[in-house]
Amino acid sequence: MHQAESPATVASRHENAVTISARDVTKEFGGVKALKGVSVDFYAGEVHALVGENGAGKSTFLGTLAGRVSPTTGSLTAFGHMITGANPRASRAAGIVAIYQELTMIPARTACENVFLGQFPTRLGIVDHSKMRARFEVLCQKFGVHMDADARTDTLSIADQQLLEIMRAYESAAKAVLFDEPTASLGESERARLLDIIRQMKANGTTIAFVSHHLDEVLAVSDRITVFRDGSVVASRPTSAWTKQQIVTEMLGSELKSTLQQRPLRPTQMPRDLLKVSDIAVAGLLYPASFVIRAGEVLGIAGLVGSGRTSLLRALAGLEPATGRLEIDEVEKPAPRTPRAARALGIALIPEDRKGQGLVLSRSSACNVILGDMPSIARFRILREPVIMKAASAAVVNYGFNLNRLSAPARTLSGGNQQKLMLGRWHHARPRVLLADEPTRGIDIGAKTEILAALRKAALEEGLAVVIVSSELEELLVVSDRILIMRDGHMVDTLDCHSDDVDVERILHSAFAVHAASLHTEHA
Amino acid sequence: MKNPSSAAPGRPSTGNGAASLSRFARKIPFDVSSLGMIGALIVVMIVGQIIYPAFLTWTNIGIILTQNAPLGIVAVGMTFVMISGGFDLSVGAIYAFAATMFAKIAMDHGLVEAGLCTLLLGIVCGTANGAVVALWRINPFIATLGSASIFSGLAFVYSNSTPQTPDNPNFQILGQAFWGPLPIAVWLLFVTVLLGGFVLSKTVYGQALYAIGGNETAARLSGLRVGLIRGSTFALVGLLSAAAGMIEASRLAVGQADIGGTIPLDAIAVVIIGGTSLLGGEGSIWRTVVGLLILGAITNLFYSLAVDSNVQLVAKGAIVIGAVGLDVWSRRRR
């Protein structure tokens, strides 16, 4: 990277050398073929995007390059080295660094120490802190950010931590960087910044592999797009030869009948106010906000990471020491301080981190569904197996969940099916207000549509008030009746999605105080 | 619910055949991957029978059960604690304290009063553990390491460091008398196992324990009283440890504060050998029963072969570490 071969060759792709080459790579997991003979070439100074639905094999393929997954057959070469077996150190030695959605920061160390982890600049064997700090400042300048070198890493936002992760890769002079869903947890402006950094790395001659569900982003940043479907490569072309619709078509294998093309219908009845929120606030994170949530309505919340949108949701769910009052059915209560208090008010949360905070992965799907309300199906506190199965089936059947999987541990399900379990849990427990934090994160396109439609249906047909926080503005726009906008801990605006002049640009302009144009520069 | 059919994901997804297959799979009370420990038990029994011909006789099996009844009762409680993600090192101290108190009160008062007071002691000690863990959020390992020292110290102070030997002949009924073909202590073990298994697999409380041990945040977000439920498992294991201590005092006809030293390690070993996860959220009572039988059989063989008791300690420690290693290894593979 610093010692990148020759940035001049960037101009023409065909003069670039093949740096990483995969030939006929297959991978079987207990008889299931996750990869069926994949051959892909990566070039120096090129951003190569890998797209496909969940389970298409792109992450497994990335794993073979990173040395996390050992291929069953086939060969991998990187910078002249053979990569064999699951050996992350060998891949690292060949010059490959992988950056995953899950961060590998040590929370209690400083930003600076995390960047230089394992490669501390030393003087006579002693860590040279002033040199380290100087190099950190250089990195910050290069990336165009300001960050406190001595801040404990766990006090930084996820976006900043991810940036540190990338700085670490940069500092280690990686010749190839593999990004697996790097933007999933980032807000719009952080995404734009990350894409700029990727462009910069590319200009230095770094080989970049990029896995993302976010097709606009893929089109904006990549030079070549390879589509995976069912463990095979189905198409690989320069980005200029792709349109978004073509990519989706290849991913799904057939034309996507998008149910998300239209705006939501205005509810037929005048919705009544269900929950009145007055001056809800969290010290340091959320300034007093007041708004109303109506029965049968989907309320979207948009904002940057760190804008207070998640704090607002957490405050409603009883996860923050919030102040303020809630009024449900004309009874006023203080803001909940525990999830249990929130549940007593009829408020339930689908957390962003399904695996970490939503599901008990070791337990069966059925057990996960009934977890939201067990006493109601118990007799004398005793739960009978058939009763559990019946209640769980009833809760998930409408979400297209395969009922034969109800006995399977939640761990074995795909992201989309896991999210359906969360929906099922609250369908079973019947709250009044359903909060969903990034409900479509990390879920493939087909299931995304289903999840959004299910949330919409919960509002319209069951009269729930649904509140959704999402970074995917287009999704938010098609699923919400109103969108509440947060910036720097303040509630700054409320937009009515049924009016004609509300679109992504309008939200961006209003919410992020930036022009949308800056985001999609290369793509348009 | 139990943990039905790890074979589920591979099943065909449609049709009546699949449905009846899944009904069948659900009837198997454990998942196939856990058969390993049953295999280990069978191996131990076969090897035992070969090197010690009297091993699989009713008399010897009766001895194994009788000797391990108190340990088994503690292990049932420990299973509850560990499934909810906790750990209790103070069970040995409560056990010894209870033995001492049961014997000392029985010297001056009736056996019923002595028994009730002792069980109450177990609940109080366990509740104290639970409160410290749940309210102060102290790591259960440290909390019960500390409380073990407290309980043990109190037991010595209470008994003035002298063995308590009640002369009431009925004192030995609990630990030595038979009811039908088996000692009362073994019947108590059976009742504890059956009740424990039922509560864990068939009740709201049991489901909540698995959820809390498997994912505390998910359980909290679902509205469960995480602290209260987790704390209650410590009260339960306290109660069962006290009952086990009473049985032991009655069996030995003496209550003294220096017994029970190996109870915490043995109880945890039994639970882990059975395959209940050290991390919580997985496990069951029948696994603990298998673990108890394995450890009981091995100990029995050691004694019958006159293996030095210090060598036994070494072997037991190695078995525990091996079992945990197996748990970690199998977890990494999936």
Mean pLDDT of A340-356: 91
- In this structure, are residues B213 and A366 in contact, taking their beta carbons and an 8 Å threshold? no
Cα gap A320→A324, rounded to integer Å = 12
Output the pLDDT for position A254.
52
Band of pLDDT at residue A428, cut at 50, 70 and 90: very high
pLDDT digits (tens, 9 = 90+) for B240-282: 999 999 999 999 999 999 999 899 999 999 999 888 888 889 8
pLDDT > 70? residue A394: yes
In sign, the C-alpha dihedral spanning A132, A135, A139, A144 is positive
Q: How many Cβ atoms are within 10 Å of A142's Cβ, its own excluded?
A: 12
Reported as type and span, the H/E element at residue A20 is: strand A18-29
User: Could you tell me the residue ranges of all domains in chain B?
Assistant: 73-333
pLDDT > 50? residue A261: no
pLDDT digits (tens, 9 = 90+) for A35-58: 889 999 999 999 999 988 766 788
Note whether B11 contacts A404, CB cutoff 8 Å: yes
From chain A, the residues in CB contact with B204 under 8 A are 374-375, 378, 381-383
Q: Which residue of A has its CA nearest to B212?
A: A360
pLDDT > 50? residue A523: no
Output the pLDDT for position B332.
65
State the Cα angle at B251 between B308 and B56, rounded to 5°: 55
Mean pLDDT of A63-85: 85
pLDDT > 60? residue A143: yes
Domains of chain A, first to last: 12-95+174-256 (3.40.50.300), 102-173 (no CATH), 258-346+431-524 (3.40.50.300), 356-430 (no CATH)
Interface test with B, best of A407, A427, A430 (most B CBs within 10 A): A407
Band of pLDDT at residue A521, cut at 50, 70 and 90: very low
Mean pLDDT of A251-255: 61
Distance from CA of A241 to the nearest CA of B (A): 39
Question: What are the backbone angles phi and psi of residue A116, rounded to the nearest 5°?
Answer: -95, 10
ipTM of the complex, rounded to two decimals: 0.80
Helix/strand/coil for A17:
coil
Output the pLDDT for position B16.
43
Output the pLDDT for position A441.
79
- In this structure, are residues A466 and A274 in contact, taking their beta carbons and an 8 Å threshold? no
- In this structure, are residues A378 and A333 in contact, taking their beta carbons and an 8 Å threshold? no
Outline where A82-157 has alpha helix (H). 88-93, 111-115, 129-143
CA within 13 Å, CB half, B20: 3
Report pTM: 0.74
pLDDT digits (tens, 9 = 90+) for A75-127: 888 888 888 777 888 888 888 888 877 777 888 888 888 888 877 877 777 88
Q: Does B224 touch chain A (CB under 8 A)?
A: yes
**Average per-residue pLDDT for chain B:** 87
Residues in Cβ contact with B160 at an 8 Å cutoff, skipping those fewer than 6 apart: none
Mean pLDDT of A491-498: 86
Q: How many Cβ atoms are within 10 Å of A414's Cβ, its own excluded?
A: 15
Percentage of residues of chain B with pLDDT beyond 90: 67
Band of pLDDT at residue A186, cut at 50, 70 and 90: confident
Residue in A270, A292, A268 with CA at minimum distance from that of residue A280: A292
Output the pLDDT for position A268.
54
Q: Does B35 touch chain A (CB under 8 A)?
A: no
Residue in A274, A283, A282 with CA at minimum distance from that of residue A316: A282
Distance from CA of A92 to the nearest CA of B (A): 22
Note whether B223 contacts A360, CB cutoff 8 Å: no
Output the pLDDT for position B84.
95
Q: Does B281 touch chain A (CB under 8 A)?
A: yes
**Average per-residue pLDDT for chain A:** 82
Kindly report the three-state secondary structure assignment for every residue of A493-521. Answer: EEEECCCCCCCHHHHHHHHHCCCHHHCCC
Q: Does A379 touch chain B (CB under 8 A)?
A: no
pLDDT digits (tens, 9 = 90+) for A190-235: 788 888 888 888 888 899 999 887 788 889 899 999 999 888 899 9
Mean pLDDT of A495-503: 78
CB pairs A-B closer than 8 Å? 113
Note whether B8 contacts A382, CB cutoff 8 Å: no
pLDDT digits (tens, 9 = 90+) for B168-193: 889 999 988 999 889 999 999 999 99
B91-108 and B111-135 are packed helices; what angle lies between their axes, rounded to 10 degrees?
Answer: 150
Q: Which residue of A has its CA nearest to B11?
A: A404
Q: Does A69 touch chain B (CB under 8 A)?
A: no
In this structure, what token pair is assigned to residue B331? Answer: 């977890």
Q: Which residue of B has its CA nearest to A358?
A: B218
- A249-253, A310-314, B285-289: least confidently modelled range: A249-253
Nearest to B214 among A349, A361, A366 (CB): A361
